[in-house]
Amino acid sequence: MTDFDGLVAVVTGGASGIGLATAELLSSRGAKVAALDINPDVKDPLLGIRTDVSDDESVQSAIAEVVEKFGRLDVVVNNAGIGAQGDVSANSDEEWNRVLNVNVVGMARVARAALPHLRNSPSAAIVNTCSIAAWAGLPQRVLYSASKGAVYGLTLAMAADHVREGIRVNAVAPGTADTPWVGRLLDSAPDPAAERAALEARQPHGRLVSADEVAGAIAYLASPLSGSTAGTILAVDGGMYGLRLRPK
Ligand code: NAD
């Protein structure tokens, strides 16, 4: 793993789960890291900035604060995301707008605010958190899957637009990862332990993906070690995508 000495990173949704693991990993490798989160409760040396990615003013002010404090911006990890359940009849227009505004427009909004600063970086990278839901056909996850399908397209189109100016755009696509989000879903089941065991058994490698494993993939795509990689969606899913398996 390369180091991030002298580089500055923002991680949206950086106060929990995959985002927090990523913020801590980049920080441990020398980056100055700001966690942009609606609940920015993070420990030193991470800088927590209360940010709502669904609000343009909030995003612009957070990016301006990072650049004012650290003097530059090199890495954007677009990770904040929220869930939605049900078939196509389940979600109202308001819910569609709310979820797409966070999961899709939020990523475009953060990138838009960050781009002028990334153009000054010799080591600029954007990494979006997609999901295997983008292509797996998950049952009862229509809105969430559509949002991550949009992240897939956003990533490829942005990669094409910016690779020639030295800004690499890639994404990770986690399978089911052991984060507070998934913990909350399991806790809402009648028997959380049995539900967890069943979920683990459905994974190709027999366990959930760890947040640290996803963070490692994000750090790779954010680092100069992946300097020739753009427009790639790196699955971190125990092999589900690579093996062309459908979630059971
Ligand atoms: P998490 O709930 O543990 O963390 C998400 C963080 O995002 C929280 O700190 C939350 O406060 C923040 N957040 C939510 N809305 C926000 C907003 N409007 N503005 C700023 N911050 C906001 O979730 P996680 O499991 O770590 O998920 C992180 C990302 O990974 C999401 O994009 C999710 O879709 C994706 N993902 C997760 C899994 C999984 O199984 N956990 C699988 C595939 C993809």
Residue ranges per structural domain of the chain: 8-179+210-235
Query: Is the shortest distance between the CB of 247 and ligand 1 below 6 Å?
Result: no
Check residue 228 and give its pLDDT. Answer: 97
Check residue 12 and give its pLDDT. Answer: 99
User: Atom 33 in ligand 1: which residue has the minimum CA distance?
Assistant: 81
- Residue that is written with structure tokens 């990533």 in the block: 155
In this structure, the strands spanning 47-50 and 75-78 are: unpaired
pLDDT beneath 70: ranges in the chain: 1-2, 247-248
SS (H, E, C) 32-71: EEEEEECCCCCCCCCEEEECCCCCHHHHHHHHHHHHHHHC
- If you measure from the C-alpha of residue 206 to the centroid of ligand 1, how many angstroms do you get, rounded to a whole number? 23
Check residue 16 and give its pLDDT. Answer: 98
Check residue 37 and give its pLDDT. Answer: 98
- If you measure from the C-alpha of residue 97 to the centroid of ligand 1, how many angstroms do you get, rounded to a whole number? 17
CB contact at 8 A, 128 and 107: yes
Query: Is the shortest distance between the CB of 100 and ligand 1 below 6 Å?
Result: no
Compute the distance between CA of residue 29 and CA of residue 49 in angstroms, rounded to an integer: 21
Check residue 244 and give its pLDDT. Answer: 80
Query: Is the shortest distance between the CB of 74 and ligand 1 below 6 Å?
Result: no
Compute the distance between CA of residue 195 and CA of residue 166 in angstroms, rounded to an integer: 45
Check residue 245 and give its pLDDT. Answer: 83
Which atom of ligand 1 has the smallest separation from the CA of 177? 40
**Does 220 participate in catalysis according to the annotation?**
no
Query: Is the shortest distance between the CB of 38 and ligand 1 below 6 Å?
Result: yes
Query: Is the shortest distance between the CB of 53 and ligand 1 below 6 Å?
Result: yes
CATH of 8-179+210-235, one of 3.30.390.50, 3.10.20.740, 3.40.50.720, 3.40.50.2300: 3.40.50.720
ipTM value for the complex: 0.99
Check residue 111 and give its pLDDT. Answer: 98
Phi, psi at residue 245, to the nearest 5°?
A: -95, 150
Check residue 2 and give its pLDDT. Answer: 64
Give burial (CB, 10 Å; 0-12/13-18/19+) of 124: buried
Check residue 1 and give its pLDDT. Answer: 54
First to last CA, the chain: 34
